[in-house]
Amino acid sequence: MPSNTTAPPAKKKKGRRARLIVLVLVLALVAGVGYGGYWGVSTVRGSFPQTTGTIRLDALTGPVEVKRDANGVPQIYADNEADLFRAQGYVQAQDRFYEMDVRRHTTAGRLSEMFGKSQVDTDAFLRTLGWRKVAQEEYDKVLSAETKKNLQAYSEGVNAYLKDRDPADVSVEYAALAFTGDYTIEPWTPVDSVAWLKAMAWDLRGNMQDEIDRSLMTSRLKPQQIKDLYPGYPYDLHQPIVDRGAVDKVTGKFDPEAQPKGDDTTSGGTGTSGGQNGIQSQLAALSDALDEIPALLGPNGNGIGSNSWVVSGNFTTSGKPLLANDPHLAPMLPSLWYQMGLHCRSVSANCRYDVAGYTFSGMPGVIIGHNNSIAWGFTNLGADVTDLYLEKIGTDGYVVDGKTKPFVTRDEVIKVAGGDDRPITIRSTEHGPLVSDRSTELERVGQTAPVGNAAPDRGTGYGVSLRWTALQPGKSMDAVFALNRAKDFAGFRAAAKDFEVPSQNLIYADTAGNIGYQAPGKIPVRTKGAAYDGTLPAPGWDSSYDWKGYIPYAELPYEYNPKRGYIVTANQSVIDEKKYPYLLTRDWGYGSRSQRINDLIESKLKDGGKISPDDMQSLQMDNRSEIATLLNPLLLKIDISDPQVREAQKLLEGWDYTQEPDSAAAAYFNAVWRNVLKLAFGNKLPKELRVEGECINVRVADTTGPVDEQNKLVPECGERDPDTAQPDGGDRWYEVVRPLLKQEKSEWWNTPGDRLNAATETRDQLLAQAMKDARWELTAKLGKDVSTWSWGRLHQLTLKNQTLGTAGPGFVQSLLNRGPWNLGGGEAAVDATGWNAAGGYDVIWVPSMRMVVNVGDWDKSRWINLSGASGHAFDSHYTDQTEKWVKGELLDWSYGQAAVEATTRDTLKLEP
């Protein structure tokens, strides 16, 4: 239940509330609050989309109908493909253009043009990465003529909407921006659409943050301690996606039925690369820069992921496959997703699309969904597709194998709203852009870095460059359209071949009853052997650490109708690394969610049971805490003498480990878990990984001052953004703690104590201290009476407008944002309402949508979005799906023409 009701169910009340919100906004601005301007009711409503009647568009060649249901979800009908995508562009611009405009300024490194000098550093970093530059190269040199035609048609539709409209007529946010200076909306281009895939790839890029964090840990932790904090994937506990199969040595292709030979071992080892020590300053600054990049999909780290699974019709009540998907991304307003149907009135060789599902505003086609033959879903594969290289640099270039090579440079100018232009120079090595150039702290990087003997003379220092698959032109946009048209597994796999970045797990089902899985993506091959596995920055001066090509698509794992009858992907390992000849990554999700889904499906199928659509929907809301099954029995055995702490401990007695919003036990357990992590690990990490502003006393060995001041305790404050700080509490930390719970005197249980608490030396002493700390933390947050505690009061979701709702004046934020809602679920639960244990309990990623596809009986499918179709803050469809999303409810998903007609509320005709 929400702690603040924002969407009353009755239509009349909903309309009355919307009017009241508009009046509050107008009154606030009339009163001179904020910018001193004035938004009238006409300004607020003027940007709402026209959803009935007729609109004439010069770009069209034939009539188009846009049918919207009670939730404003559009289904588009056209006679040819160009008009279909023109209408998609027009309709998405009606509902979401401000969101689209911000995205394209982000991907092009042009946020300063909208929001001023505060965004200059972010723009400089984004320009250095060169997303827009690569997108332009893709459009010019790589994408098919057909894809370009679709992108151009989409752009024509967007621009038809923008024609003759002032910014304030497009969205109310522009009215606010107009108070700080003039702003002109530029026409949409095909490259604006392509560049969005780069942002998607960036947030799903894999282990780059882990690579940085491991390096930063070397300043405080021993090699074995770091290894403790990054345990191997628990194959004995959590099965991978593909549980059999191998690359056939004769055909050179992956065969799901083949048995791996004894020498089929993964390339790459667990060693470290030369020159690792002492680059903390560079990597800390890089980590700070990463925190400033807008997390368009969510905080990058172990927790961000997704669930998907598909069950064969042999094991379902319908006799046809069932497919579920819920990607876990950052909560945002409006939601990342936009639901839509794209229908050719008559499907033929000239008009091939009859597809519906979840789209990205600003991009044509459907990303996740189904057509009339197949359904598909995505989860993040998490392949290691980035490497950081420590570069030996000088005034003339950088060193490789003892020779100096010149930088590749380009000059760019950042335009700043209300300020002077900022010129920047971008330098790149053969590995990629020199990202360390984007920090003033790194102007003389590495001058004092104690690197190993493998490093060349330091000269003027070291820099850090980034190699990343997404910085090379690719065909992922081609793959989107091919997926939308695919009719069978062969067509599905052919489309997946071009889905190069980001690397995703793709699941599949079709009306013939088949199910399948494909691991696609451009994944590098590292051939340094045991010396390098991509887990730490590599020495750029040694060419033997370079990539040696990419895993051939034919050798990537896939499954087709596995005997077990179902496939689960939830960011776990794709295949046992001992049975596969290539290294995909060392940094998988650790499989807590995936194994829970596997176990629940197995239990349902036991003794001949069948799975229904309701079962699929219920499974999406499973909120059991896996770490509680390990830790809670030990907590109950602790002898607690303090009566108030004992009162809290009693909440855990008889708890079934579910994390419902009203659960006091879930609230207390999660607080205990947070404090266990802080005591055992968090306070021992270097400041670069701990939460910004949280300070601890550390002992500094200083032999230069007076004797009585040597080896003294000094305060040291954390520097990391709370959403990405460590320990984050994800299922990697479950695997860290699991073996330690059997080691009552592990060094990790040692804490120094302070003036209020005694030092701890054993597991039970630390657990007791964590229980005490959690009791008083929740007393401060929720009150002294434990009977009033609830997980939902701690674990809240607020949906924020992604610009003015996060950085605008307080009154503007309150008008554009919605919530909070009290949520159940939790970190690494199937209902993955993620929170960062180092930073607090607030929800920082969510199932951004949920769908259950009833394959073949499409109109019995169900779906839900996090917010709603509209990006307009006071439109009735701004957050009209959120209440149902919170409760785990799904909407009926109409697809066939008769079903769409039956649910249509508004029809808009677009005519030439």
CA distance 744 to 761: 9
Among 144-153, 169-178, 320-329, 362-371, the minimum mean pLDDT is found in 169-178
Question: Mean pLDDT, to the nearest integer, of 829-842?
Answer: 97
User: What pLDDT, on the 0 to 100 scale, is given for residue 90?
Assistant: 98
Residue among 863, 872, 901, 425 nearest 613 (CA): 863
Q: What is the pLDDT of residues 746-795, one digit of tens each?
A: 999 999 988 888 999 999 999 999 999 999 999 999 999 999 999 999 99
For residue 88, report the phi and psi dihedrals to the nearest 5 degrees: -60, -45
Residue of 878, 846, 850 lying closest to 864 (CA atoms): 850
* pLDDT reading at 272 higher than 50: no
Q: Which of 80-84, 260-264, 287-291 has the highest mean pLDDT?
A: 80-84
Higher model confidence: residue 539 or residue 20? Answer: 539
Nearest to 227 by CA among 862, 786, 732: 732
- What the block records as the tokens of 793 is 């009061």
Q: Convert 359-388 to b/e letters by CB count within 10 Å (16 or more is b).
A: bbbbbbbbbbbbbbbbbbbbbbbbbbbbbb
Distances (CA, A) of 242 to 551, 569, 598: 17, 9, 13
For the chain, how far is it from start to end, CA to CA, in angstroms? 47
Q: Is the pLDDT of residue 10 over 50?
A: no
Q: Which H/E stretch holds residue 865?
A: strand 862-865
Q: Record the tokens describing residue 237, joined without a space.
A: 């506990």
pLDDT of residue 208: 78
**pLDDT level of residue 809 (50, 70, 90 thresholds):** confident
**134-173 per-position pLDDT tens digit:** 999 999 999 999 999 999 999 999 999 999 999 989 998 8
In terms of phi and psi (left: phi > 0; alpha: psi -120 to 50; beta: otherwise), the region of 673 is alpha
* Residues constituting the chain: 912
Strand partners, 567: 310
- pLDDT grade, residue 177 (50/70/90)? confident
Task: Confirm if 519 and 406 have CB atoms less than 8 A apart.
Answer: no
Distance CA 688, CA 686 (A): 5
687 pLDDT exceeds 70?
A: yes
Residue 736 DSSP SS3: helix
Say what the pLDDT of residue 200 is.
82
Rg of the chain over CA atoms, in angstroms? 27
Is 80 exceeded by the pLDDT of residue 117? yes
The pLDDT assigned to 584 comes to 94
- Percentage of the chain with pLDDT > 70? 85
* Rounded distance between C-alpha atoms, residue 681 and residue 492, angstroms: 45
Rounded CA gap, 503 and 193, in Å? 19
Confidence grade of residue 814 (pLDDT, cut at 50, 70, 90): confident
> What dihedral do alpha carbons 625, 626, 629, 632 form, nearest 10°?
-50
pLDDT-based confidence at residue 456 (cuts at 50, 70, 90):
low
What is the pLDDT at residue 461? 63
Q: What is the pLDDT of residues 246-267, one digit of tens each?
A: 999 899 999 999 887 655 554 4
